[in-house]
Structure 1
Amino acid sequence: MQGPRRFLPSISLLSAFEAAARTGSVTAAARELNLTQSAVSRQIKLLEEQLEVALFHRERQTIRVTPGGEVYAREIRDALRKIGTASLMLRANPMGGTLTLAILPTFGTRWLAPRLPHFLSENPGITVNLVTRLSSFDFRQDPADAAIHFGGKDWPGGEMMKIRSETVVPACSPALRAQQDFRGPADIAGAALLHLTTRPDAWERWFALQGVPAQTPRGMLFDQFATAAQAAIAGLGVALLPEFLIQEELETGRLVRALDLPMVSAEAYYLVWPTERAGHPPLTAFRQWLQSQASEDT
């Protein structure tokens, strides 16, 4: 049920308040919104009267947002961003066939992006928007319809579909392999190891699989596979990388297997989505198409 009118202020009032709260200045807010200072001040005053709450402390020619106003501004900022995003997507595709997908950067560029033209050719009425995410997020706060997730089958409050598993290999530059002359896993333990912050125990698992005592983590840290792979190409160390994501580097010789000792990851890649979006037509089409693409990799 819709609440009282005073709890649903107009976008113009909320925009003026949010800009003033964020910049700490009516002048700056007016410049940003292409309005006069008096117009912004008037809109903020109308909003305060409508809510019956003071949002700013006014001290001579300056304003300072109240503690309650700061919290309100943060919530309003998120709401305005969502409205703006929704309006942009509607303008881009008036028929409503838009799918916003959160992706892991390297998986998105190396595996998904090359396949997307096929999906779009089969579904010409659908527009796909891609946004990168490095960690889990809350669908209630994020405008994405679905996301690519790497991990266990444990996404709370949503549904999941497995895309594919992965096999990781210790990879390095040809020069480093020649210099280190790796003969066995213990030799790699003595080399510089490149680590991913999202998989802090990957090397520990690999050494355990090879029967090598646990190693104290050392070496450089990276938040993405792409940068870790580039560091390995530059000879900075050995990285444990998904084989299917570095096929080009392996084929061209920019990367080599330090040792041919692969490890199947315990986790996998999943498509995840909130239950309430399960029936969204573009998502349904994408899910069906993704199943066919995933079957080709198994």
Structure 2
Amino acid sequence: MMFGLWGGGSAIMRWDGVAWTAVTSPITFRSFNALSMISATDGWIVGSQGVALRWNGSSWVTVSGPNTAWLYGLDMVNANNGWAVGSGGVIWHWDGNEWSSVDSPTTESLWTVDMVSATEGWAAGSNGTLLFWDGNDWSVVDSPTSASLQSIRMISANEGWAVGSGGTILYWNGINWSVVNSPITTAFRDIAVTGSMGWVVGNNGTFLRWNGVEWQTAANPPFQPMNGIDMLSSSNGWAVGNNGVIKQWQNNTWSIVSTPTTTNLNAVAAVSSMMHGLWVITDSFCAGMVALGQILVALLPLI
């Protein structure tokens, strides 16, 4: 069974296995930039003008924030602890009851955040900005690059990756960040790591694969810009991109999955549970579309 929500003329649609039917949209005239799922019944979306939506298991509802900053990165540690980052170095924190603004040591735009735990996490952004959360404060950490860092993924306190513009790849060894050899100079948009396997996606349909020693290019036509990726395991993952492209990693290959939209897709997050789920959000300011506040959601049997 598959369910889906997608935006077109402010429409959100649901697939019941036979047909698409309209579902009420919780908000319009916003761009959704990041999402983080805690479980099949709890998750968050953030985006432009301080928009924050929460999934309660049956519908998305709006939640007030402390300001109207544009939010680009989001990571929920659990239902009572989460972080969102955005333009001008803005940082929000969720304490289980409300979002509040937290002191930031930078005015650089922050594009991404990933928490190792409630007391340790990282954020990254423009001009190579790297921030570290020690459980009390965010602080600036020395960066080996001035590239814009679009995505950061921490495997543990002693291992992590960040990717960004100009083919930039950084690696964290528990002591410092260092530049890692990249086979191309294309702008990277997102990274996902599971076990010994890692993937990077980016402009021009870019896919890079980590083989445990180095990053290698992997051809995956059509060559639409790819914006988001999430891996459930080394044998199952999803990637999304422009013009509604969704690809699934299965049987050691990426294959295109049919979608009901040609809208640019920004991010994907999978939930592994009894109600297996895959969630995708879209870029509302693309292809001349005036339907904003778009969401594409698919609840799929994930193998």
TM-score computed with the length of structure 2 as normaliser: 0.19
Higher strand share: 2
Tell which has more relative contact order, 1 or 2 (C-alpha 8 A, sep 6+).
1
Higher helix share: 1
TM-score computed with the length of structure 1 as normaliser: 0.20
